[in-house]
Amino acid sequence: MRNDERFEIERAFDLLPHIIGSSWAVIWFRLNKNKRPTREEYREKVLEYLKMIDPLLESYPEDEEFSEMKKYIKSRKEEEIKKILLGQNPEVEKRYDRYVDYG
């Protein structure tokens, strides 16, 4: 697969964890009056919300012309999940720090 074919998916995975996952997680913790979740609790909540977009990530047809893209999406999703769980997504970690520091 050419780089230009996966560019938009790469950008989406660069943004989705902190735009959707972290934003929704912060709102959940704030409304539940939990100002100091552990990093692990926060990461799990981020993933909980991020996984809600699975139907979108799986929406391309099973046609041959989409097979490489679907494989790439699956591998990139698995990579992002691993990075979040290991604390290796700097944007998610930054938003956790901001939340526990400023609520």
- Residue keyed to tokens 């926060």: 42
Alpha-carbon span 67 to 70, nearest angstrom: 5
Torsion sign, CA atoms 87, 70, 20, 45: negative
Residues lower than pLDDT 70 in the chain: 1
Beta strand spans in the chain (E): none
| Number of domains within the chain | 1
Alpha-carbon span 91 to 54, nearest angstrom: 21
Three-class secondary structure of residue 5 per DSSP: helix
pTM for this predicted structure: 0.92
pLDDT of residue 103: 80
pLDDT of residue 87: 98
pLDDT of residue 5: 85
Owning domain of residue 20: 3-102
